[in-house]
Structure 1
Amino acid sequence: MRPAQDNMHDKVAEGGGVVVALKKSDLYGSLWKSADELRGGMDASQYKDYVLTLLFVKYVSDKAKADPNSLIEVPEDGSFDAMLKAKGDKEIGDRFNKVIGKLADANGLRNVIDQADFNDEEKLGKGKEMQDRLSKLVTIFNELDFRGSRAEGDDLLGDAYEYLMRHFATESGKSKGQFYTPAEVSRILAKVVGINNKTRQDQTVYDPACGSGSLLLKAADEAPRGMTIYGQEKDIATWALAKMNMILHGNEIAEIEKGDTITSPEFTIGNSLRTFDYVVMNPPFSTKSWSNGLENDYGRFEYGRPPEKNGDFAFLLHALKSLKSTGKAAIILPHGVLFRGNAEGNIRTRLLKQGFIKGIIGLPANLFYGTGIPACIVILDKEHAVARTGVFMIDASKGFIKDGNKNRLRSQDIHKIVDTFNKQIEIPRYSRMVPMGEIADPKNDYNLNIPRYIDSSEPEDLQDLHAHLHGGIPNRDLDALSAYWDAFPQLRTQLFAPNRPDYSDLTIDVADVQQSILDSPEFRKFAEGASGLTADWFAAHRNALAAIDENTKPAELVRDISDDLLVRFKPVPLLDEYDVYEQLMAYWHETMHDDVFLVMNDGWLNAAKPRRTIEDKDRKLAETPDLVIGTGRSAQKYKMDLVPPALIVARYFAEDQAQLDALTPAAEEATHAIVEYVEEHAVEDGLLAEAMDDDKISKALATARLRVAKREKFDQDEVKALEHLIKLYDAEAAAKKTIKEAQAALDLSVLKKYGELTESDVKSLVMDDKWQATVARRVSAEVEALTLVLVERIQEVGQRYRATLDDLMADFDELDAKLSEHLAAMGVK
């Protein structure tokens, strides 16, 4: 997937060679911006059908060109090329429909890929408006090439599809966003349900409310060779989307049926439901009309019938009935299923007594596109039900990051949830194995509301009245910081001295606490140890990173290096290994993934070559250049995605940069001299007052005033002042010109240097100066951030108990005396 090189790029004269492909993130961004710009007033939930249909036609057409054995047959008059020939045609919408119809007929995909009507004037406009919109839209997709880039190990199409789906879901609002489960949540379901590297290709995964199929695909991706996929979707347009999604991801034989799963399940054998190894599902929440038209319950309600006005347990019981005797399910449901009473309470009680419920994971609010309410994941497990003695619970409601108007799970949140659940790790205020006896206790009565069993609130911060009265910091507050004292055994005695039994005094000013900690030998040793761990980790993976080529699988690469980083930091006290892991993963998503993509596509050397910036005003995709050579209309603007100019400067031109930096103070001093001189003499009746215009005096104004002053023989002091000001402006201009010329010379040297780099140079610049240096900085920042929690707490208790009752009374007496003096001075007794 790459833009047409002849449309978007030039060669670089100084560097030589053909320019590289765009970054992966830029490809998605340009695709979204371009397509979205043509949407007009159409709702995103409808517009997605047009964009994704075009993506489908383009993909299968390209794949058929590259692979004669492709499972999808693409006739000449049913291809993307046939759509391209319709550009500018007055009948373009009708021609598009016919092309898609030919493709559908050739593959038995009628009513699947032809759901979007490209001749709908209400949605796409009439006449010229439709003609222009569809012509531009097909042009955008023509710039993509799916025939198989060198980067075979990267799922470009899948990621592009995911990117578009996420954006369409975000834009679609509450009523239309339910066709898509966020990828982060899908990954959790896939991993906690038990699918792993031992899962066979012939094992089955089923989603009874599959939407666009993204959850099913994420689940199957967890198995090394995929899985056998089954799904059902009620909404016809979304069902068609799921069918296309399966083909786009190489799962042409996946069975995706349409219809209402509860009233008309398609996967049946006689009067029984077909069973599967795994079920994953994100059904619509609390459906009120779930039972409309229900005639056969297929034995799903043997543990109780859900209430007529709420279908949450209908979907859960359908999933349970659809499991083999060794089957497992993970279902996203609203928290109400955990605690609502009456019919739902009875069903929950019976399921718990049967041992079917393996675990509950509470998620943050506002994760999903269809609703803002918090949800949970209910994990069912038939295989070990008989021996089950408890339910493992996780309260993950606080682990997220804000992302626009939604919350989003970070990489560290996903990893922590999965690790904690799969390894059954008990963490205070986060997770625990709740014994069945506790759940069955009459005070709980089979209520599974997570806060009953996990108190995730922070401990109450108790005030100490004795300390307020007599001073001193309670040792109880200091003991609560024991994790720090364990890591830095000498630090407590450095910062605190005994006051009286059970109380201590801070030995330094509260303002000096952070610097004292940073300067302490123990903290320095701790920071050096973390830095050493990072260096050792990178050294262990340097050869693998240096070997990145077109066969690299980025997902496997980042999994290997990130999991190893997590393991290395797990034994380190104080530092949360998931926080360190997040530093790497955030950098991966921001930069490293793009870098890997570029190297996979173009090789190390070509990927590092500068390319001309895109300046497409019509599609508003102009880029900010990294380097500009020349000025005005003849300026040459370049992007250096893999090796930014700053890396070249730091390694090869540090001395030139230092000399350039040394020129800056002179220019600043010259500017400051002008400001000072103007402030001194531009006051009322000052020597420069008459030359001012709107409180400003430029060199042009000063020069004009000087000519008049000399001609009309003004006061000589004013003439001298004007002449001096002009000299100051000249000095400033000269200083700035020197800097500009030096910068231009450095920029030219930098651009030339790109053409001299060897592959070894590029690898060293990218791996050592860019990747390792950035991760090391981020980890160091995490280490320093540790001190902030400690410092804030010490400052808080230090300030809290600084003033004793005697101090306050003394202050009161002093103020009272001053008040009496003032009153006496005013004659008031």
Structure 2
Amino acid sequence: MAIKKSDLYSSLWASCDELRGGMDASQYKDYVLTMLFVKYVSDKYAGKNDLIVVPEGASFEDMIALKGKDSIGDDINKKILRPLFAANGLEGSMELVDFNDDDKLGSGQEKIDRLSKLIAIFENPALNFKNNRAEDDDILGDAYEYLMRHFATESGKSKGQFYTPAEVSRILAKVLDVDKADVPSYTAYDPTCGSGSLLLKVAEEAPNGLTIYGQEKDIATKGLAIMNMWLHGYPEATIYGKNTLANPQTTDEDGNLKRFDFVVANPPFSLKNWSNGIAPLQDEYKRFQGYGVPPEKNGDYAFLLHILASLKSTGKGAVILPHGVLFRGNAEAGIRQNIIERKWIKGIIGLPANLFYGTGIPACILVIDKEHSESRTGIFMIDASKGFIKDGNKNRLREQDLHKIVDVFNNQWELAKYSRLVPFEEIEKNEYNLNIPRYIDTQEDEDIQDLNAHLNGGIPQKDIDDLQAYWEVYPNLRKELFTPIREGYSKLNVAKGDIKETIFNHPDFLSYNTQLDTLFAEFKEANLPEMNAIDEDTKPKAFIKQIAEDLLQRYANKPLIGRYEVYQHLMNYWGATLKDDVYMLVEEGWVAKVQRIIEKNNRGKEVDKGWTCELIPKALVINTYLAEEQQALEALQGELETTQAERSSLEEEHSGDDGAFGSLDKINKAEVTRVSKELKAEAQPQQTAMAAEPDAAYGDKLVTDLQVAKKWLKLYTKEANLKKDIKAAEAELDKNTLAQYGKLTEAEVRKLVVEDKWLASLYADMQTEIDGISQRLANRIKELAARYEHTLNELDTETLDLENKVTAHLEKMGLVWN
């Protein structure tokens, strides 16, 4: 079976649980990620003469043999990790996590058990990387990102700085023109590289990779970066240690700073002790010369100046910094002016608050481009602060937010309340203050109350005109909804309760829906061949990019419906379902494999919970091939619900003190049978009459109660029989469904997966987006109608009338107001 990311993630996180009790997240991440690293390189490279060497005796299989041994911790260190790193030239360049640390892992049997269980988790078949056929398989990368994100979440603010959210990293990578770097000799550098994920995102954008350099002062995090490079196919990447500002390691033969084509960074925000070990005015690398020295207790500009000094004259950079760098005064204001005057800042992207794990404050991306500074006339600014989704206690950029930012920036699109090119002259007039709200007003227009409408009635024409985007699409709908009553004001022609129905049934609305249906049908027709062509050579990332970009372009510039919102529906489905399906098809082909569901009960015993098919849900097969059986089952279920409702109604009606069930603590078969027998004995004289006329109404309470009890028992018996019939029908349907899976041809599998599952789900999502268009229009019209429904005179009259009625009631009660 292909590795499902959901299985992979759950397995990896289970490994974290094994260590959770002994240390916090910032420590146990090192053990889990090291284990992941050993497992991956063993599966991929053991026994091969490749970029990564796995020495004999130092593979994951050899680690399995250590389970349960008294020396397991020491053996992992000496027999697995050290030989593995030494064979690849990394001995001494990274600090090995200590698998023999009694303080963290416990001592004696506790440590043996903990490490043995940890190894066992990585033996899970879901973690088999040997047979992955997808060339651009990013499941491991996703897993690594997943773990890093969770580790950062659990580590808290002070220890979350080693991780830059993947969405933000991708923005940096995509605004640097890295895609034009067509040979791997182009260089990329991150002076505060952390675990290296940002550098890898940049390299991913280059068609043939890049030559990677990074520096990270934290030794353990540096080790993670090296492993991360290996895991992603960059074992030759150079990752240095030490403090970048005090001891930059990227120097040339003459001792000068090495210059790079691309520099990216997410340095620690507002570092207090940045100048430790540095004499800025005598800095041998001249990083502050001509700019100024940053404040002693704030290192943001120190990192920015280091980045500028590390860029070639044609270099491009992107750095994440707190918003304060845009507007803080004193020494920083002077540095900012000096940088702006060189015209090196191409753009500024304002991000939402609370994206990062190290801080909750909002940040921005400064995009540097030295190459085109001579022709630059201004700085392109984007305020993307409102585009995000809540994710636990953090905010997260969605795919639509990321794509919009990148498209707008790279195309320099000027959008109202979102982006504009700010001329240098305007920036100079603002004393080189770059605070984004000075240049982009994102405030929503105020919804103003119209006093004339409140006094004289009618809906203001201005409010109706504000809905012009809708009237351009529904030109006749406006005339049907509104009629002018005086200059500047109109009346609503339909009742408030009929607004939504009027819109949804209007020919203009139906016509536009048809246009959008046609648009989706065209998307379907264009992409069906690509979807049906998935095979072992398919590259999943290229596949989703192709169909997603096609969808995005088809919905571009369509009125009322946002193309990025449509795009997000597809990307949501990719993350939840489509991605796993595509990898499964690449690995296994167009085969609907079924598998048993085995779960452990409370006693640890394995229990068979039936079967499932990951690729094709049972409902699709049933609806397509066994619809009649399903309908018959649903009929039985409906009859059962009716019977249960009838019995519940009978119980409720006759549960009072005088009812047939009034004396019962519980209403069940045994109790009702007992009561029925007692009533039958007491009401014996009337039994003959009841037998002769069973439907007759008898006034005697005993006879009535006996009829109720008999009816309850009859319903109970019917209910029990229906449950048996339903169980038998479910078993028969399940058996026939399983048999049907075995009969499916490859063509049938393709249709079920592509058309009935993927495209049907995506179409349903599109419909919710389309329905939302008219829902928004209907809600706004309802709001306006309710606001101006009554004039102030009408409200005054109604108020006076109510006051008079209250006074009259009080007078009748003998209360008179003086």
Q: Which residue of 1 aligns with 2:673?
A: 703
Q: Which residue of 2 aligns with 1:288?
A: 272
Q: Which whole-Å CA distance do the structure 2 matches of 1:805 and 1:142 have between them? A: 76
Whether the aligned pair in 2 keeps the contact of 1:112 and 1:244 (CA below 8 Å) is no
Q: Which residue of 1 aligns with 2:31?
A: 50
Matches within 5 A, 1:465-504: 465-504=451-490
Matches within 5 A, 1:163-202: 163-196=146-179, 198-202=181-185
Q: Which whole-Å CA distance do the structure 2 matches of 1:354 and 1:676 have between them? A: 83
Letter in 2 for 1:121: D
Which one of 353, 357, 367 corresponds to residue 345 of structure 2? 357
Letter in 2 for 1:186: S
1:187 is paired with a residue whose SS is helix
1:103 is paired with a residue whose SS is helix
Letter in 2 for 1:109: L
Whether the aligned pair in 1 keeps the contact of 2:257 and 2:310 (CA below 8 Å) is yes
Q: Which residue of 2 aligns with 1:685?
A: 658
Q: Which whole-Å CA distance do the structure 2 matches of 1:788 and 1:621 have between them? A: 52
CA apart distance, 1:718: 4.2
Q: Which whole-Å CA distance do the structure 2 matches of 1:676 and 1:294 have between them? A: 84
Q: Which residue of 1 aligns with 2:233?
A: 250
Q: Which residue of 2 aligns with 1:227?
A: 210
Q: Which residue of 1 aligns with 2:104?
A: 123
Q: Which residue of 2 aligns with 1:594?
A: 580
CA apart distance, 1:514: 1.6
Q: Which residue of 1 aligns with 2:551?
A: 565
Whether the aligned pair in 1 keeps the contact of 2:343 and 2:374 (CA below 8 Å) is yes
1:386 is paired with a residue whose SS is helix
Q: Which whole-Å CA distance do the structure 2 matches of 1:220 and 1:130 have between them? A: 39
Q: Which whole-Å CA distance do the structure 2 matches of 1:90 and 1:28 have between them? A: 30
Matches within 5 A, 1:23-62: 23-62=4-43
Is 2:741 the counterpart of 1:754?
yes
2:353 is paired with a residue whose SS is coil
Q: Which whole-Å CA distance do the structure 1 matches of 2:304 and 2:331 have between them? A: 14
Going from structure 1 to structure 2, the CA distance change for 1:713 and 1:471 (only over 3 Å counts) comes to closer
Letter in 1 for 2:450: D
Is 2:709 the counterpart of 1:722?
yes
Count matched residues: 791
Is 2:569 the counterpart of 1:579?
no
CA apart distance, 1:299: 1.2
Segments of structure 2 that go 5 or more residues without pairing to the other structure are 685-701
Segments of structure 1 that go 5 or more residues without pairing to the other structure are 1-19, 623-632
Letter in 2 for 1:305: V
Is 2:334 the counterpart of 1:346?
yes
Letter in 2 for 1:159: D
Whether the aligned pair in 2 keeps the contact of 1:205 and 1:230 (CA below 8 Å) is yes
Whether the aligned pair in 2 keeps the contact of 1:23 and 1:641 (CA below 8 Å) is no
Q: Which residue of 2 aligns with 1:417?
A: 405
TM-score, normalization by structure 2: 0.94
- 1:732-775 Cα distance to aligned partner (Å, 9 max, x none): 22223222322222121111111101111111000000111111
Q: Which whole-Å CA distance do the structure 2 matches of 1:119 and 1:225 have between them? A: 41
Q: Which whole-Å CA distance do the structure 2 matches of 1:285 and 1:618 have between them? A: 48
Whether the aligned pair in 1 keeps the contact of 2:215 and 2:240 (CA below 8 Å) is yes
Matches within 5 A, 1:278-427: 278-295=262-279, 296-302=283-289, 303-427=291-415
Letter in 2 for 1:485: W
1:360 is paired with a residue whose SS is strand
Is 2:58 the counterpart of 1:70?
no
TM-score, normalization by structure 1: 0.92
Is 2:754 the counterpart of 1:767?
yes
Q: Which whole-Å CA distance do the structure 2 matches of 1:556 and 1:426 have between them? A: 29
Deviates more, 1:368-377 or 1:743-752: 743-752
Which one of 68, 72, 87 corresponds to residue 106 of structure 1? 87
Which one of 803, 808, 811 corresponds to residue 824 of structure 1? 811
Going from structure 1 to structure 2, the CA distance change for 1:38 and 1:755 (only over 3 Å counts) comes to farther
Q: Which residue of 2 aligns with 1:161?
A: 144
Q: Which whole-Å CA distance do the structure 2 matches of 1:531 and 1:774 have between them? A: 14
1:816 is paired with a residue whose SS is helix
Going from structure 1 to structure 2, the CA distance change for 1:640 and 1:191 (only over 3 Å counts) comes to same
Q: Which whole-Å CA distance do the structure 1 matches of 2:312 and 2:181 have between them? A: 18
CA apart distance, 1:789: 2.0
Q: Which whole-Å CA distance do the structure 1 matches of 2:610 and 2:8 have between them? A: 20
Matches within 5 A, 1:553-702: 553-605=539-591, 608-616=592-600, 637-690=610-663, 692-693=664-665, 696-702=666-672
Going from structure 1 to structure 2, the CA distance change for 1:436 and 1:114 (only over 3 Å counts) comes to closer
CA apart distance, 1:621: 13
Is 2:535 the counterpart of 1:549?
yes
Aligned-pair Cα RMSD in Å: 2.0
CA apart distance, 1:827: 3.7
Whether the aligned pair in 2 keeps the contact of 1:153 and 1:551 (CA below 8 Å) is no
Whether the aligned pair in 1 keeps the contact of 2:46 and 2:59 (CA below 8 Å) is no
Q: Which whole-Å CA distance do the structure 2 matches of 1:103 and 1:30 have between them? A: 24
Q: Which residue of 1 aligns with 2:132?
A: 149
1:604 is paired with a residue whose SS is coil
Q: Which residue of 2 aligns with 1:15?
A: none
Which one of 198, 201, 204 corresponds to residue 215 of structure 1? 198
CA apart distance, 1:384: 1.1
Q: Which residue of 1 aligns with 2:782?
A: 795
Going from structure 1 to structure 2, the CA distance change for 1:199 and 1:377 (only over 3 Å counts) comes to farther
Letter in 1 for 2:621: I
Whether the aligned pair in 2 keeps the contact of 1:34 and 1:619 (CA below 8 Å) is no
Higher relative contact order, structure no. (Cα contacts within 8 Å, ≥ 6 residues apart): 1
Whether the aligned pair in 1 keeps the contact of 2:458 and 2:788 (CA below 8 Å) is yes
2:373 is paired with a residue whose SS is coil
Letter in 2 for 1:522: D
- 1:4-43 Cα distance to aligned partner (Å, 9 max, x none): xxxxxxxxxxxxxxxx445332222222234334422421
CA apart distance, 1:620: 9.8
Whether the aligned pair in 2 keeps the contact of 1:429 and 1:454 (CA below 8 Å) is yes
Going from structure 1 to structure 2, the CA distance change for 1:461 and 1:572 (only over 3 Å counts) comes to same
- 1:631-682 Cα distance to aligned partner (Å, 9 max, x none): xx6x551121110001111111222222222223321221122112112222
Q: Which whole-Å CA distance do the structure 2 matches of 1:618 and 1:412 have between them? A: 44
Q: Which whole-Å CA distance do the structure 2 matches of 1:636 and 1:617 have between them? A: 11
- 1:375-420 Cα distance to aligned partner (Å, 9 max, x none): 1000111111122111100000111111111111111000000000
Deviates more, 1:47-56 or 1:813-822: 813-822
Whether the aligned pair in 2 keeps the contact of 1:177 and 1:370 (CA below 8 Å) is yes
1:359 is paired with a residue whose SS is strand
Which one of 734, 737, 742 corresponds to residue 721 of structure 2? 734
Going from structure 1 to structure 2, the CA distance change for 1:366 and 1:58 (only over 3 Å counts) comes to same
Deviates more, 1:129-138 or 1:609-618: 609-618
Q: Which whole-Å CA distance do the structure 1 matches of 2:720 and 2:217 have between them? A: 71
Whether the aligned pair in 2 keeps the contact of 1:178 and 1:369 (CA below 8 Å) is yes
CA apart distance, 1:164: 1.7
Matches within 5 A, 1:517-532: 517-532=503-518
Which one of 71, 84, 90 corresponds to residue 91 of structure 1? 71
